[in-house]
């Protein structure tokens, strides 16, 4: 079930004002965070600020401090880039699960693993939808 769907403003690298699309889902005792790069974000990209964004979500109270990040995770972080680029050189839409090393309220060493849209829909509990 989707619990939040909004544009999220954060301070990127060097304190630069930045934004992304934020969706929070709750499904099967997991919190799924989806961070989508916006076309009109003139600040730090989701990829380059992912640790800062997650830390900011915790400090803003949008994520609970007790949430664990581990192999049997309660928190799943997804980076999403919509289809973009020029007509003759499009870059396809993609989703990646991002894992981190966590030290208290600090996150580091993000690792990305690409996965398919249908896997994403199953993860957020909307597997009855089909990719268009």
Residue 45 inside a domain? The answer is: yes
Per the domain annotation, does 40 fall within a domain? yes
Neighbouring CB atoms inside 10 A of 61's CB total: 8
At 85 the pLDDT is 65
Asked if the structure places residue 90 within a domain, the reply is: yes
Q: Is residue 129 part of a domain?
A: no
Q: How does pLDDT run across 29-83, given as a tens digit for each residue? A: 888 999 999 999 999 999 999 999 999 999 999 987 666 554 445 888 999 988 7
Report which of 85, 86, 91, 82 is spatially closest to residue 36, judged by C-alpha positions.
82
Q: Per residue in 5-35, pLDDT tens?
A: 999 999 999 999 999 999 999 888 888 999 9
Tokens encoding 82: 């919509």
How many independent structural domains does the chain possess?
A: 1
Phi first, then psi, for residue 13 (nearest 5°) are: -60, 140
Query: Residue 93, SS3?
Result: coil
User: Is 130 part of a structural domain of the chain?
Assistant: no
Q: For residue 111, give its domain range.
A: 2-123
pLDDT at 118: 82
């Amino acid at each position: 079930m989707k619990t939040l769907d909004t544009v999220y403003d954060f301070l990127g690298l060097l304190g630069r004002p930045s934004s992304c699309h934020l969706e929070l889902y709750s499904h099967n005792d997991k919190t799924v965070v989806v961070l989508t790069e916006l076309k009109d974000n003139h600040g730090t990209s989701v990829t380059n600020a992912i640790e800062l964004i997650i830390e900011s979500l915790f400090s803003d109270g949008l994520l609970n401090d007790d949430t664990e990040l581990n192999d049997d995770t309660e928190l799943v972080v997804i980076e999403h880039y919509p289809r973009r680029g020029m007509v003759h050189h499009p870059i396809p839409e993609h989703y990646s699960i991002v894992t981190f090393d966590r030290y208290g309220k600090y996150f580091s060493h993000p690792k990305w693993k690409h996965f398919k849209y249908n896997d994403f829909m199953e993860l957020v509990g909307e597997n009855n939808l089909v990719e268009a």
